[in-house]
């Protein structure tokens, strides 16, 4: 869950993916999250079956409480992500309003998964290391402690990449990739950075036409309100 979920989080942040279609990246993001969810469910079933076979009580530790909470919220996150951002039914204003919540909840779930893993490996060491004891710092304890430190560093790196603005998918790349089908190279140049006078003229024309279109939309909306 840690490795696959982290890949799903940073899939939009990799520079070599910025020229790919946004729809393609959505499918990759959704696919990675689906794989992580399936693996999380399989692992939960395995844990409960192991506990029942060994007569170990279920859901008694903080590790199990936070882990189950993370899986539940992750399933809700995955469902809302499919329903709102992948399927073409949700209105654009609703998507825009929900996007910050979707990003924040995803990062929070990832941080919770890291914390759950740290508590889990510590709990396993305390129960498993009897002779020599965990408190005597045997090689197994040192190995797992360093593994925990690596998990913290890895989680911090993923959160840093996901929160930096310069790692975000550039808007100009989106405009180039998502230009209308059949668009001419001239229209693409007009949407990119202007490098000569002819491109500047095309940009001015495009801005004027866009302003006129918005004005017409405002007039249409006003007319519709007046007739309601």
Q: Report how far residue 63's alpha carbon sits from residue 202's, in angstroms, rounded to the nearest whole number.
A: 60
Mean pLDDT of the region 103-119:
96
The CATH class of the 1-171 domain is: mainly alpha
CA-based nearest residue to 8, from 38, 22, 29, 26 = 29
pLDDT in tens, 12-34: 888 888 888 888 999 999 999 99
Q: Report how far residue 171's alpha carbon sits from residue 157's, in angstroms, rounded to the nearest whole number.
A: 24
CB 87 within 8 A of CB 27: no
Output the furthest CA–CA distance in the chain (Å, rounded).
84
> For residue 164, what pLDDT is reported?
86
> For residue 215, what pLDDT is reported?
53
Q: Report how far residue 73's alpha carbon sits from residue 17's, in angstroms, rounded to the nearest whole number.
A: 28
pLDDT in tens, 153-207: 999 999 999 988 888 888 754 434 444 344 443 333 333 333 344 444 444 445 5
Asked if the model's pLDDT at residue 214 lies above 70, the reply is: no
> For residue 43, what pLDDT is reported?
94
Domain residue extents for the chain: 1-171
Q: Two tokens at 202?
A: 């095309």
Q: Report how far residue 124's alpha carbon sits from residue 130's, in angstroms, rounded to the nearest whole number.
A: 11
Q: Is the model more confident about 110 or about 193?
A: 110
Lowest-pLDDT range of 83-87, 142-146, 159-163, 185-189: 185-189
Mean predicted lDDT score pLDDT of the chain: 80
């Amino acid at each position: 869950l840690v490795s696959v979920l982290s890949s799903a989080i940073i899939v939009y942040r990799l520079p070599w993916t910025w020229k790919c279609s946004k729809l393609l990246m959505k499918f990759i993001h959704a696919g990675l999250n689906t794989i992580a969810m399936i693996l999380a469910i399989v692992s939960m079933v395995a844990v409960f079956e192991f506990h029942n076979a060994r007569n170990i009580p279920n859901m008694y530790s903080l590790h199990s409480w936070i882990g189950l909470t993370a899986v539940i919220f992750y399933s809700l996150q995955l469902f809302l992500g499919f329903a709102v951002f992948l399927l073409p039914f949700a209105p654009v204003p609703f998507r825009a309003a929900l996007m910050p919540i979707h990003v924040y909840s995803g990062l929070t779930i990832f941080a919770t998964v890291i914390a759950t893993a740290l508590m889990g490996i510590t709990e396993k060491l305390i129960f498993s290391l009897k002779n020599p004891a965990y408190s005597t710092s045997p090689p197994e304890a040192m190995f797992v402690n360093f593994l925990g430190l690596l998990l913290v560093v890895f989680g911090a790196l993923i959160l840093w990449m996901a929160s930096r603005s310069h790692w975000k998918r550039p808007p100009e790349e989106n405009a180039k990739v998502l230009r209308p089908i059949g668009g001419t190279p001239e229209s693409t140049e007009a949407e990119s950075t202007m490098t000569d006078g002819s491109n500047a003229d095309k940009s001015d024309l495009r801005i004027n036409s866009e302003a006129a279109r918005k004005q017409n939309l405002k007039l249409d909306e006003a007319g519709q309100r007046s007739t309601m």
